[in-house]
Each structure stands twice: as C-alpha cells, then as structure tokens.
Amino acid sequence: MNAIDERYKHALIEEHESYVRARRTKDAEQVAAVLREQYGHEVGEGKAETKAKEPAPQTTAEPRPPEAAVAPKPEPASAEVKPTATKKTAAKRAQAKPAEDK
C-alpha cells in the first residue's frame, strides 16, 4: 500500500473513532464498511468507546507572561553620554542673553 492510501486509511480510522465518541452509530458503521471493503481493516468498536470514556490527561502548562504593548527600549551601545542638541541650543541661548544686556 502506498503512502497516500495509508493516509486515507488513517483518516478513515480517525473519522470512525470520532463518530463512535459522538455516538453516531450509523455514520460509524458506514465508515467501518468502507474500511473493511477498501482496506481490509476491521475497526474495534470497544477500543474506540474506551478511548472516549477515558478522560484526556491534563497537562499543566507554565503561564506565559503578558505581552507588552510597546517593545522595550534597546540598551545604549556605549557607556559614554553624548550631549544632545537641546543642551547645545540652551548653551547658545545663555551666551546670547548677556550680549543683549549691553
């Protein structure tokens, strides 16, 4: 049997199991008939029912931290602090005022 046929067979088995869990017996019987005719596969009625009755194992996932609305600012590339344009402008204004007083 080639890979595609194996996938179809697996999909039909899963479909059958889902119908059994949902207690849709007519649909489950139709899928079981297709599995028998085309693939020679007998489905286990009791096997799917026991899976449905068993509770799914609960896994505890670690809680994720909330996402920030704004990305954090990157760290400065170097430790040196460079003067900004506002400081230079303020220094020029301070020098200009004494000249106006004369």
Q: How does pLDDT run along the chain (102 residues), one tens digit per residue?
A: 688 888 999 999 999 999 999 999 999 999 999 999 988 888 875 444 444 445 556 667 777 777 777 777 777 776 666 666 556 666 666 665 555 555
Other CB atoms within 10 Å distance of the CB of residue 21: 14
What is the rounded distance in angstroms from the CA atom of residue 58 to the CA atom of residue 78? Answer: 49
- Cβ atoms of 21 and 53 within 8 Å: the answer is no
What is the rounded distance in angstroms from the CA atom of residue 56 to the CA atom of residue 50? Answer: 12
- Name the pTM for this structure: 0.42
DSSP state for residue 79 in the 8-state scheme: S
- Cβ atoms of 36 and 42 within 8 Å: the answer is yes
Long-range contacts (CB closer than 8 Å, 24 or more residues apart) made by 57-60: none
